[in-house]
Chains A and B, each alone.
Chain A
Amino acid sequence: MKRKHTASRPSPFGFVLLLIVFLTLAFFTFAAISLSTAIHDKNVSQSLSKHSTAYTAAANQAEETIASFNCAAASHPQSAAKTKHFSIKISKTQTLQVTCRWDADTASYQTDVWKVENTKDWQSETHLPLIIEKQ
């Protein structure tokens, strides 16, 4: 007598859990990458804003200096120096160099040179670490 041989179907038990684990890991990876990118974008924006603020502060200081030259020259136009040069620190690595020249027609100092100079070597930051280090 022949025995009926029935191929036993593999039990589906465990497949669903495996799929869920895979999906969750994928989701978590994407979420972590998007959060990390967003945080680094924010850091870049904040450093840009910080640099802009530092430059504005230095530019304002330079304008105040020129204004004081103008006021001094207005009271004694004969003794006004022809050219004036000064530099203002923007950050640890940059300074603002200003040279202005006395213009008798407008009775004020006109800016000839307005230049941001690097005082140290600048190194670009191109890496994007996934794990954010606290600064």
Chain B
Amino acid sequence: MKQVKRMDAAGLFLLELILSILLFSLLAAVCVSIFAKAHMISASSAELTAASSETENVAETFRSTDSERSFLKTISRLYPHADVQLRQGQAQLYFNSEFAECKKSNAAYKLNITVYQEKSCLLAAALTYVSCETGKSITKQTAEHAVSASASAKTPSYSEQDSASSADDDADSSAVETNQTAKEDAS
């Protein structure tokens, strides 16, 4: 009789154990999905904060310079790994997964900059912070900067930039590009 009672208790304990493990697995799965969701939200908010901050930095740099050329030169000085094309009025800044500036090969994010003449006496820079992995743009901003009429007349439009390139431009852009290549070789 005792034997039967002991068997019953052992069976009940086993049943409880099985049910508890089952319940725990189910609830743990729900908890893990909540943790994963929290992690993804944190990652996206970190991306957004970094993107806003970096875009704002570049926009302020653009407003503090007096021409397209001086802006792009300042960018190549402030961001040593930046890919600057003076002739096209474009630049790409690369950032790693920790939002620090890095080489193109290690980039997780990039900031595309395009400078153009919005209208007379007004230059504009289109700034787009893009995730390299997904290609999705995180922030998009346009910064404008007033210049004098004479400086504005010197800034060529897109079509002019493509067709005409002065010898000075050639020298400057090749210097920047050579600088970039030399840095990559050295590293």
A-B Cβ contacts below 8 A, count: 135
21 A-B interface contacts by CB (under 8 A): A13-B12, A24-B31, A27-B27, A31-B34, A31-B35, A32-B34, A38-B37, A38-B41, A38-B42, A44-B45, A45-B45, A45-B52, A46-B48, A49-B49, A52-B141, A56-B142, A56-B143, A59-B144, A67-B122, A70-B147, A70-B149
Cβ–Cβ < 8 Å partners of B56 in chain A: 52, 56
Contact of B166 with A by CB under 8 A: no
From residue 13 to 41 of chain B, which have CB atoms closer than 8 A to chain A?
13, 16-17, 19-20, 23-24, 27-28, 31, 34-35, 37-39, 41
A49 shortest CB reach to chain B, Å: 5
A9 shortest CB reach to chain B, Å: 10
CB contact between A108 and one of B51, B139, B146 (< 8 Å): that residue:
B146
- Contact-residue size bin, chain B (C-beta under 8 Å from the other chain): 35 or more
Flag if B9 contacts A13 (CB, 8 Å).
yes
Contact of B106 with A by CB under 8 A: no
Contact of B63 with A by CB under 8 A: yes
Report the Cα distance A109→B151, complex, angstroms: 13
Flag if B149 contacts A42 (CB, 8 Å).
no
The number of chain A residues with a CB under 8 A from chain B is: 45
Report the Cα distance A45→B55, complex, angstroms: 14
Flag if A67 contacts B27 (CB, 8 Å).
no
Contact of A41 with B by CB under 8 A: yes
- Say whether, besides A17-B20, A31-B31, A67-B119, A108 and B147 are in contact (CB < 8 Å): yes
B187 shortest CB reach to chain A, Å: 32
Report the Cα distance A70→B45, complex, angstroms: 40
B52 shortest CB reach to chain A, Å: 5
Report the Cα distance A30→B38, complex, angstroms: 11
Report the Cα distance A56→B126, complex, angstroms: 12
